[in-house]
Amino acid sequence: MPKTVGIGVTGGIAAYKIAELVSKLKKEDIDVIVIMTEAATEFITPLTFRTLSGREVLVDLWDDSREWKVQHIGAAEQLDLLVIAPATANFIAKVAHGLADDLLSTIVLANTAPLLVVPAMNHNMYKNQAVQDNLKKIKDYGYTVMDPDSGDLACGVSGQGRLPEIDHIYAEIKKLLCPRQDLSGKRLMVNAGTTCEDIDPVRFIANRSTGKMGFAIAQDAAARGADVILVCGKSPLEPPPEVKFVPVWGAEEMCEVMQKYQPACDIIIGAAAVGDFRIKAMAEQKMKKANDASEELVLTLVGTPDILKTLGKNKKPRQVMVGFAAETENIVANAKKKLETKNLDFIVANDVTMEGAGFSSDTNIVTFISRDGEIQSLPKMSKQDVATAILDKVVKLL
């Protein structure tokens, strides 16, 4: 039975690009219902979409519909997926707060199918805290949000805010319409975030990791049917609701927890930024500030457990293990050493000094290095897309 996708077009300059998306979907025999806001009609005409989709284009909440008794309810009930592209800051705010003052926003509220939101706007608008809070809110609702691309924007500035390439939106639509379950029946454990090593009861040593990469892996693995255990150090992120979340603090605790769960796992992925050193002797009381700026404080550090190396020694037959190598020099050579010493099936190497890669970034630039010597370099992509590529490779190994 053909799938039906609703394409909600809001009033952004990127609206004209959605004509290509509608055409691409129709060529795949996917039925498309286009819903436009009044602002969207200032950028591209309903006639264009009506010609490409072969259906009437929905714009006015108060129009009589020949197809449905109640237009917004009937249209919503017919959808297998609803896509908002481009999604403006204004419309994202409507979705986040449940406003329904036009046809598209009422269809969003009546819709029970998966919802894909594709933001596109000025860089400063996208980074505005109110917009980021609204995007977080709709993610918490369970909606899928694509990260905008970076580059030159129509307003003349450069930055993150461009509509993703149509091929990327199309791929996300296909993934949501036909979700893969190629990890069904498998148990995957991934670690994420930064470990923390206490100096005294107040202070600790950590690093810049936010956990975005590990969280993306956990989320994608769960969507593909895996039973997921997310062992997480310090991170500002909210864990995906569909995973088993195990919070930890230091490297020793993370190692102990992962050893506990290892025997029951088919896949283990080490994405956490585990600290290499801890304080030899933690102070029992808060250390007081020096009176003289020239006074020195010397901390004695000792090594922390090498978690993946420890797990690698106890690796079961047919258990797939993947590690990360965040490097600043000799990327491939250093990654190959870790691949061998930790008994991994492949390692994901990246240069954290590169723009668009490393800690806190929404994107990453990685190279896969396999045990058989194969090296595969990937272009800059979102961490969610990197997670998908990693799991695709894991599935092949399984």
Note if 232 is an active site residue.
Answer: no
* Amino acid letter for position 245: F
Cα separation, 122 vs 124, whole angstroms:
6
Choosing from 155, 178, 255, 265, the catalytic residue is 155
Cα separation, 132 vs 123, whole angstroms:
12
Q: Which residues contact 173 (CB under 8 A, 6 or more apart)?
A: 5, 25, 81, 83, 116
Could you tell me which of 139, 44, 45 has the C-alpha nearest to residue 96?
Answer: 139
One-letter-per-residue 3-state SS of the chain: CCCEEEEEECCCHHHHHHHHHHHHHHHCCCEEEEEECCCHHHCCCHHHHHHHHCCCCECCCCCCCCCCCCHHHHHHHHCCEEEEEEECHHHHHHHHHCCCCCHHHHHHHHCCCCEEEEECCCHHHHHCHHHHHHHHHHHHCCCEECCCEEEECCCCCEEEEECCCHHHHHHHHHHHHCCCCCCCCCEEEEEECECCEECCCCCEECCCCCCHHHHHHHHHHHHCCCEEEEEECECCCCCCCCCEEEECCCHHHHHHHHHHHHHHCCEEEECCECCCEEECCCCCCCCCCCCCCCCCCCCCEEECCCHHHHHHHCCCCCCEEEEEEEECCCHHHHHHHHHHHCCCCEEEEEECCCCCCCCCCCEECCEEEECCCCEEECCCEEHHHHHHHHHHHHHHHC
- Token pair belonging to 202: 């107040």
Q: How far apart are the first and last CA of the chain?
A: 31
Residues serving a catalytic function are 155
